[in-house]
Amino acid sequence: MKIITLTYETGWHEEESQGYKSYRWMKQKSKCLLKGLQTKGPRQLVIKGGHPFPKEKNPFLSVYANNEKLGVVEILPFTNTYLFPLENTSEKIEIDLELDSIFQPEISKDNRELGMVIEEIKVYSQEASALPQVLELATSTLCNINPPCVMCFTRIFDIWPYKGDLDKTAFDNLIPFLKEFQTISLHGIGEPLLGKKLFTILDNINTDTTFVQFNSNGLLLTEEASRNLIEKGLKLIDFSIDAASPETYKKIRRKDFNLVVNNIKRLNEIKKELGVKHPEIKMNMTLMKENLPEVVSFIELAKSLEAKTVHLGLLNPFKEYIINNAGFIFNYQEQMLDTESEVFQKTIQEAQQKAEELGIELVLEFHKN
């Protein structure tokens, strides 16, 4: 097996890290060298990175491989992945990156020459095992629940500038590689069932070898969508419901609880009619003070909707905000749960007992708030 090496040659600052992520600032022009690459089959240069200044003008990055221009892209705020098809078949590629502007010290509060942040540079090829096993691809960053669910990330990242359907270039570039992943999750920020390319993406995945799934609020799961998803081999839907009663559902997710429940029931009927077991049903509850008392009933609801698994998670620790949803005052900080409190521990114990009694697999994903 060839060992792929990446060397940062000129125009880079030292590596930095934040949490689990490490990254490097590039200067205006920088150079790096990739060696040991697979030489057969289609290949793509992958550059993962961005910049942390959403209110500033985005720089444009020109990318060259062995002196051949691969393209120019606008570098968006936060982390994004930019793909460039590689014609060149060499096992060694010298990459030149050139930005049309850098961030000024008064904006960046940093006197260094700051271009963009690079988290990763690599080459995907069909032949190599260079591809990750899991692909997470949001079909849309829009949502049919608008204004969003009270706790939703989309509300917190209100500065998220790119709302819309999956970008056509990213989509076209990914198509030849979709059959290579072990797992593809078609969600991110937004509602997967809103994505216009959802069914085309499914058409291009080999669902015999790739496990394909997504999270959904389930409200757009019409009978036609259910039949299509079954036909195209979707393996799992994780329904985010967060409540076991219409009242709590309305407070958190603003919509009609019975609509999603009936959509799941109809999906189950169609699966039976067609004699299939997929997509498997999972149900998800993001725990907060408001819905904690409904956890045990949520497991009963999952049983009645033929779900195999229930996933319980916590609110991510974000900044403070308070909103009024039709008289329900949602205070993010106050809704966050203390996992060591007696009430939390007792509820989870009861949930575990109920899940065991009903034969539901319970997945607990709790970080310490």
Binding residues for ligand SF4, per CB under 6 A?
143, 145, 148-149, 152, 154, 190-191, 217, 240
With the CA atoms of 322, 328, 333 and 334 taken in that order, what torsion angle do they form, in degrees rounded to the nearest 10? 140
Alpha-carbon gap, residue 359 to 18, rounded angstroms:
41
Nearer to ligand SAM, 34 or 166 (CB): 166
Candidate ranges 45-53, 64-72, 145-153, 302-310; the one touching ligand SAM (CB under 6 A): 145-153
Strands 280-287 and 236-240, sheet pairing: parallel
Please identify which residue in 152, 205, 212, 219 interacts with ligand SAM, judged by CB under 6 A.
152
* Positive or negative: CA dihedral 76, 315, 135, 118: positive
Q: What is the DSSP string of 68-99?
A: EEEEEEEPPBEEEEEEEEE----SEEEEEEEE
For residue 286, state whether it binds ligand SAM (rule: CB under 6 A).
Answer: yes
Alpha-carbon gap, residue 282 to 240, rounded angstroms:
9
- Residue identified by tokens 């290949």 is 43
Q: What does 284 interact with, of ligand SF4, ligand SAM, none (CB < 5 to 8 A by kind)? A: ligand SAM
Closest CA to 59 of 6, 125, 108: 108
Nearest distance in Å: CB 103, ligand SAM = 29
Please identify which residue in 140, 141, 215, 263 interacts with ligand SAM, judged by CB under 6 A.
215
Q: What does 160 interact with, of ligand SAM, ligand SF4, none (CB < 5 to 8 A by kind)? A: none
Residues counted in the chain: 369
DSSP 140: B
Binding track, positions 174-203, relative to ligand SAM; x by CB under 6 A: -------------x-x-x------------
Candidate ranges 122-130, 173-181, 308-316, 351-359; the one touching ligand SAM (CB under 6 A): 308-316
Q: What does 187 interact with, of ligand SAM, ligand SF4, none (CB < 5 to 8 A by kind)? A: ligand SAM
Nearer to ligand SAM, 177 or 211 (CB): 211
- Residue identified by tokens 């003008």 is 57
Closest CA to 300 of 310, 290, 291: 310
Q: Is the peptide bond before 132 cis (omega within 30 degrees of 0)?
A: no
What residue type is assigned to position 214 of the chain? F
Q: What does 12 interact with, of ligand SF4, ligand SAM, none (CB < 5 to 8 A by kind)? A: none
Nearest distance in Å: CB 228, ligand SF4 = 20
Residues that bind ligand SAM (CB under 6 A): 143, 151-153, 187, 189, 191, 215-217, 240, 242, 284, 286, 313, 315-316, 318
